Structure 1
Amino acid sequence: MAEFWCNSSNHTSLGCTPSKALHGIEPICGTMPIYTGEPAFLAELAVNNENLLAKSSLVNRPSAKMSLKFYGPCKVSEHNNTSVYRLDLPPVLLRLDAPEICRLARLNHAFRGAAGADFVWEAKLPENYRHLIGYVEGGGEEGRRRRRRAGTKEIYARLSRPVSFDDGTKEFWLEKSKGRVCMALSSKALVITGIDDRRYWTHMPTTESRFQSVAYLQQIWWFEVVGELDFCFPVGTYSLYFRVHLGKFSKRFGRRVCSTEHVHGWNKKPVRFQLSTSDGQNALSQCYLDEPGSWVLYHAGDFVSTNPRQALKLKFSMAQIDCTHTKGGLCVDSVLVYPKGFQQEKVVTGKISEMRSS
């Protein structure tokens, strides 16, 4: 009765009862039909009826008593054939972002249990999350079995942390609010003209890079940075950026200082950014590099992924090829791929001179 009273009382912050916020209906005093999902019982489900469905979870709990026993109540919205039903899941949790679900779980035991349900987190994961979890290393055969048994909440939490591949030169992660895929490629994963000649380039260790190292250009005539990427991106539109910094930065007496005395040549001619995909998408833009002293994301172009189960091959470049003058004083950190509209740093978009899909 105490639990029923709590679930049927209006909360000032919610503006409704916890039962209404979680399930979309007011609490029912009495019994409700419970179905296990067996075909014999599924035939008894009726459209527009409220039903509790038995839970089947692969999450290992210290005690079976701690596991949720049922989902619901869920309304049966459509009956396609003898054993196929479409259910209206609790609307509130499915509309919330991942951090909001975690905050809602602090309200009471009912919300905490619902926030751990597999179907809630599966709706937040990308379509090809089972392919993405395959990049997670460790544990050998036992680790693979453990990942197969993991619940969707555990998978979401693991993919929200950076997952490295290709010898640590590339990594991807899910941004925590929407569960969209982000990716970063270090300067060591790029083909940089003259990178092996210390007269032109050096690798500079720094804590300002997620890869702990950046490529610093001292002086060169032919500037060109090229990269390729094969990856199964979830369906959506993505933007590709080059993360660069004009000037050589360091720390002096605990304070960050930036020297721009070697920065030259970038105001003579714009830098050209190119992006192409294996399915015929192309983007071309150009702009001047004129933002010294801070990290800037230069937008190379956008692309669209339509098949999450097929690898999309990207080719991209950043170049200023003009042998009439030298250029230098540039740090190249990484190439970033973000869902379109998602950004965490200052972004500069150049003039787009051509963009097509063939």
Structure 2
Amino acid sequence: MFVGPLCEMKWESEASRLVEPGIEVLPEGCIAHAISLTSPRDACCSTAVSTAFRSAVASDTVWNSFLPSDLESILARADRPVDFSSKKELFFRLCDKPILLDGGKMIFSLDRSSGAKCFMLSARELAITWADTDSYWRWVPEPDSRFSEVAELLSVCWLEIRGHFKCKMLSSKTTYAAYLIFKLSDRAYGLGHPLQEASVELGTESSTSVVCLQSSDMYAHMHARRSRVWFRRGLHWRRRVLTVNESQEADDEAKEAAGRVPQLRNDGWMEIELGEFYNCGEEDKDVHVSLLEVKGGHWKIGLIIEGIEIRPKK
């Protein structure tokens, strides 16, 4: 049977009415609720789907779900009021501009991709051995720091830095890592050898590693050990070449710290990972973080500590 142009047009019109409508026809509240069950990163990506999604993503329903449930009590501890016109603006305000808490003792922010809570303890809130002895450490203002003062190492042969966080401060069911935030002065010395011991403990679980705060000092020391050392014979100093075992020991020590060397941050400070842990949500436990070099008796100079930061492990 012949089907003319008019019949074809009629068939196309009927078929178009049989096509199922897209998700865009759902109420904006339904779309917003669905997006709120994802993550901040997914929410931002979903704006490319349609104008309906872009509108839904802007709603407070979405961003309120990404904000911590105890945010109100955290903001009550802020040194300055946090202004915002929407929950979305508040979320990104806390991601991009961390806030000071408790009289400048701590910094709080949010992880942009997950919304997990991040905290940083100031150097004043850490337990630093001999930090109040003027001949070993001094407390000074630092223009690049968000805290009012930082700890600068003058000279010690016993480096011991400890801090702790309450698990209830952090986001549950999240893997975190702890980082020492620091700088090195122009006269920094002795922070590359011996290597430092870092650890993170949560209950009976612990993560221990060897780190190097000053990689240039470490490699200079290794180079000197590989080439020659001085020894005394009578009244004269002589040089000798390292034995095969001594050279191998130097190589092994360098390799041991290869994965844990400082990384430069966008804010001009350096950071080094001290360890990681999984926070399952047991609020009554503490996270203990430490950095030690107490065995060698070697003098160290020029470490500037801003604090210890805990944030989600990427």
- Residue 5 of structure 2 aligns with which residue? none
Q: Which residue of 1 aligns with 2:58?
A: 116
- TM-superposed CA distance for 1:276, in Å, is 1.0
Structure 1 residues 102, 170: closer, same or farther in 2, change over 3 A?
Answer: farther
The 8 Å contact of residues 111 and 312 in structure 2, kept in 1 or not, is answered as: no
- 8 Å CA contact retained: 1:93, 1:101: no
Given that 1:182 and 1:337 are in contact with CA atoms closer than 8 Å, whether structure 2 keeps it comes out as yes
- Mapped contact 1:187–1:332 kept (Cα < 8 A): yes
Mapped contact 2:60–2:88 kept (Cα < 8 A): yes
Question: 1:91 and 1:313, CA in 2 relative to 1: closer, same or farther beyond 3 A?
Answer: closer
Letter of the 1:280 counterpart? T
Quote the offset at 1:98 in angstroms: 7.7
Tell me which structure has the larger Cα radius of gyration.
2
User: Is the contact made by 1:94 and 1:123 (CA closer than 8 Å) also made in structure 2?
Assistant: no
Q: CA deviation at 1:156?
A: 2.9
- Paired position in structure 1 for 2:190: 265
Task: Name the counterpart of 1:202.
Answer: 138
Q: Distance in 2 between matches of 1:227 and 1:134?
A: 23
Secondary structure of residue in 2 paired with 1:329: strand
CA contact (8 A) 1:305 1:312 kept: no
Q: What corresponds to 2:164 in structure 1?
A: 228
TM-score, normalisation: structure 2: 0.63
Aligned counterparts of 1:321 and 1:114: Cα–Cα separation in 2: 56
Q: CA deviation at 1:272?
A: 1.0
Q: Output the amino acid matched with 1:301.
A: G
Task: Work out the number of aligned pairs and report it.
Answer: 239
Question: Residue type matched to 2:201 in 1?
Answer: S
Q: CA deviation at 1:284?
A: 1.2
Q: List per-residue Cα deviations over 1:153-208 (Å, max 9, x = no partner).
A: 46535644424333321122112343122211111111111111211111232222
Q: Give TM-score, length-normalised by structure 1.
A: 0.56
> What amino acid does structure 2 have at the position aligned with 1:133?
E
Between the aligned partners of 2:108 and 2:22, the Cα distance in structure 1 is: 36
Per the alignment, residue 326 of structure 1 pairs with 299
Secondary structure of 2:306's counterpart equals strand
Q: Which has the higher strand share?
A: 1
Deviation at 1:100, TM superposition (A): 2.8
* Counterpart Cα distance in 2 of 1:237 and 1:332: 24
Contact 1:171 1:184 in 2 (8 A): yes
Instruction: Indicate yes or no: 2:73 matched with 1:134.
Output: yes
Structure 1 pair 319/97, CA: closer, same or farther in 2 (3 Å)? same
User: Residue in 1 aligned with 2:104?
Assistant: 168
Taking the TM superposition and a 5 Å limit, the aligned residue runs for 1:13-92 are 24-25=22-23, 27=25, 52=27, 71-72=29-30, 89-90=33-34
Contact 1:272 1:287 survives alignment (8 Å): yes
Root-mean-square deviation (CA, aligned residues, Å) is: 3.7
Residue of structure 1 equivalent to 2:41 = 97
Counterparts of 1:339 and 1:124, CA distance in 2: 15
Distance change in 2, residues 1:280/1:132 (3 Å): farther
Distance change >3 Å, CA 303–CA 95, structure 1 → 2: closer
Q: Secondary structure at the match of 2:69?
A: helix
- SS of the residue corresponding to residue 304 of structure 1 reads strand
1:276 partner letter:
E
- The structure showing larger relative contact order (alpha-carbon pairs under 8 Å, at least 6 residues apart) is 2
AA at the equivalent of 1:192: I
- Identify which of 188, 205, 215 aligns with 2:124: 188
Runs of 5+ consecutive residues of structure 1 not aligned to the other structure:
1-19, 28-50, 53-69, 75-87, 249-258, 342-358
Q: Distance in 1 between matches of 2:164 and 2:24?
A: 54
For residues 71-95 of structure 1, what are the alpha-carbon distances to aligned partners after superposition, in whole Å with 9 as ceiling and x for unaligned? 24x6xxxxxxxxxxxxx95569956
